[in-house]
Amino acid sequence: MEAAARTNQNVGATSWFSSFQRLKDKAAKLGKKLKKIGKDDPRRILHSFKVGLALSLISIFYYVNPLFTSLGSSSTMWAVLTVVVVMEYTAGGTLSKGLNRTLATLLAGALGLAAQRLAALSSHSAGEPILLSVFVFLLAAMATFSRFVPEIKARYDYGVTIFILTFSMVAVSGYREAELIKLALKRLSTIAIGVGTCLAISIFVFPVWAGEDLHNLLPANIDKLACFLEGLEREYFGEKMGGDQILEEASFLGTYKPVLNSKPTEDLLANFARWEPGHGCFGFCHPWKLYLKVGALARQCAYSMEAISSHISTDKKSKVITDSEFRERIRTACAEMSSKTGKALAELATAIRQMRAPSTAAAQHLSNAMTASESLKALSPPKDASLPEILQPATTASLLSEVVKSAQHLSTAVEELSRVAHFKRQGQGHKDSAVKPVAGGESSPHVVVEIKK
């Protein structure tokens, strides 16, 4: 009996210990994850402190007697609420939400007061609440429906929410509050205090600009495309095309993948960037729409790369026993196309990053790639080859030509962007790149690209 009890106790202790161990492992894992998130972008840590700072500042209104008595308990709460809801990661996000909130509150407050006055005219005692309910019902339904319009959804969704909220509150609480206008003004002032605090901290304390993020996102994405092409040249067309190398483990195969789904991020950043005042190198009317165009063309490139990637990884087992001269010529042409296009893309990325017009090197690389693509047309397949023997390398070459074409569209769009956004021109006070544009294009440092498996 005693032994059994002791064993039970031991088992209990062991299971406690093991579950404690598991918990510890989980905590360690979470800690690592959080550390990585902070390391990837230290501005995230700063942003967290900024939110804490804004809230601490606002809570001073509670502690300091004259401030508190001038606003009252309920209004002070609205200031806290405003800070929590309006404070966004980017300055543009905070501006967009803050302006939406302020304007919607003003408009809805005025309309709510009007509705309240109108309902108060009713002679019957039950008339006022009924009329108010009808007003609230109609306004809320109409405003909710307007949120299904894509343009409103994208830019004013938050404003519409606040509009419904404020209108309902003002219209309905007017039934109980005697000094409605005084109350409304007080509330407006607390919202202004909250929005002002958020804006000041967002814009003046280590600001994170959505526009700057967008400006950095594009070259990072284009660099990912360049990495894929350079990997392709190095690891696939490198002397033994169509051979038996293990492609599935090749790290470059996945580099372009994040670009495929980059649209929502780009749209959001461009939407926020539009609200931002001029900052750093970006004026108030910086052509953010053109960034979206460049982004869309980069995605187009990525789609073609997806086709190449799935083509070369599914067909790698098919035997290639073609005439070796034919294969060799396709290989050199493909290697040339991917290498030159990769270099051109890298140069375009660097040009955007440095806010200068793309150097002539990019155009030169692209024209070389085009020549390589054209050279394939003069090629004759070996007389005795069957179709699949030609198909595998020929399709790869054809898809690569597609990438070259997409890269040319991308180059035109970057050229347009650099013109409209008044990027530095060559020889216009930018001596480094004017002196050795080709070398700059050839050895441009790449951004480190993370590969998600």
Interactions with its own copies, residue window 159-198 (CB under 8 A): 161, 164-165, 168-169, 172-173, 175-177
Cα–Cα distance between 390 and 322 in angstroms, integer? 7
- From 216, 298, 214, select the one nearest 259 (Cα to Cα): 298
Q: Is 144 in the site for its own copies (CB under 8 A)?
A: yes
Contacts of 14 (CB under 8 A, 6+ apart): none
Task: Among 31, 42, 280, 388, indicate the residue that binds its own copies (CB under 8 A).
Answer: 388
**Which residue, 168 or 444, has its beta carbon nearer to its own copies?**
168
Q: By CB under 8 A, how many residues form the interface with its own copies?
A: 84
Q: Which is nearer to its own copies, 203 or 391 (CB)?
A: 391
End-to-end CA separation in angstroms for the chain: 55
What are φ and ψ of residue 440, in 5° steps? -60, -40
> Shortest approach of its own copies to residue 394 CB, angstroms?
6
> In the bound complex, what is the minimum distance in angstroms from residue 309's beta carbon to its own copies?
10
Nearer to its own copies, 294 or 351 (CB): 294
Closest distance of CB 249 from its own copies, Å = 20
Residue 46's CB is within 10 A of a number of other CB atoms, namely 14
State yes or no: residue 145 binds its own copies (CB under 8 A).
Answer: yes
Q: Residue 46: in which H helix or E strand, if any?
A: helix 43-63
Rounded CA gap, 367 and 374, in Å?
A: 10
Site for its own copies contains 379 (CB under 8 A): yes
Determine which residue in the list 394, 430, 436, 446 makes contact with its own copies, applying CB under 8 A: 394
Pick the binder of its own copies from 263, 289, 319, 419 (CB under 8 A).
263
| 59 near its own copies, rule: CB under 8 A | yes
3-state DSSP assignment of residue 424: strand
DSSP string, 315-368: GGGS-----HHHHHHHHHHHHHHHHHHHHHHHHHHHHHHTTBPPPHHHHHHHHH
Applying CB under 8 A, does 377 fall inside the site for its own copies? yes
User: 414 with 358: CB under 8 angstroms?
Assistant: yes
44: contact with its own copies by CB under 8 A: yes
Establish if 85 lies at the interface with its own copies (CB under 8 A). Answer: yes
How many residues are there in the chain? 453
Give the residue among 375, 338, 332, 356 at the shortest CA–CA distance from 437: 356
How far, in Å, are 210, 356, 393 from residue 292 at the CA level?
A: 13, 18, 34
423: left (phi over 0), alpha (psi -120 to 50) or beta: beta
Does residue 204 touch its own copies according to CB under 8 A? no
User: Which one of 102, 105, 255, 304 is in contact with its own copies (CB under 8 A)?
Assistant: 304
Question: Quick one: which segment of 258-266, 336-344, 415-423, 442-450 binds its own copies (CB under 8 A)?
Answer: 258-266
DSSP classification of residue 393: H
Q: Is 260 in the site for its own copies (CB under 8 A)?
A: yes
- The answer to whether 311 and 238 have CB atoms below 8 angstroms apart is no
Minimum distance of its own copies from residue 133's CB (angstroms): 5
Residue closer to its own copies, measured from CB, 73 or 123 = 73
**Which CB atom, from 263 or from 422, has the smaller least distance to its own copies?**
263
Q: Give the nearer residue to its own copies in terms of CB position, either 310 or 360.
A: 310
Of the two residues 143 and 218, which places its CB atom closer to its own copies in the complex?
A: 143
56 belongs to the binding site for its own copies (CB under 8 A): yes
Shortest spacing between CB 383 and its own copies, in angstroms: 5
State yes or no: residue 138 binds its own copies (CB under 8 A).
yes
- Give DSSP secondary structure letters for 254-285: GTTHHHHT-HHHHHHHHHHHTTSPPBTTB-TT
Work out the burial of residue 146: count CB atoms within 10 Å of its CB; fewer than 13 is exposed, 13-18 middle, 19 or more buried.
middle
Does position 415 interact with its own copies (CB under 8 A)? The reply is no
Residue 145's nearest CA partner among 134, 157, 135, 133 is: 157
Does residue 107 belong to the site contacting its own copies (CB under 8 A)?
A: no
> Which of 122, 135, 128, 143 is CA-nearest to residue 169?
135
Q: Among 68, 103, 279, 426, which residue interacts with its own copies (rule: CB under 8 A)?
A: 68
Q: Per rule CB under 8 A, is residue 452 in the interface with its own copies?
A: no
Task: Please tell me whether residue 45 binds its own copies under the rule CB under 8 A.
Answer: yes
Of these, 38, 196, 258, 287, which contacts its own copies (CB under 8 A)? Answer: 38
Q: How far apart are CA 104 and CA 111, in angstroms?
A: 10
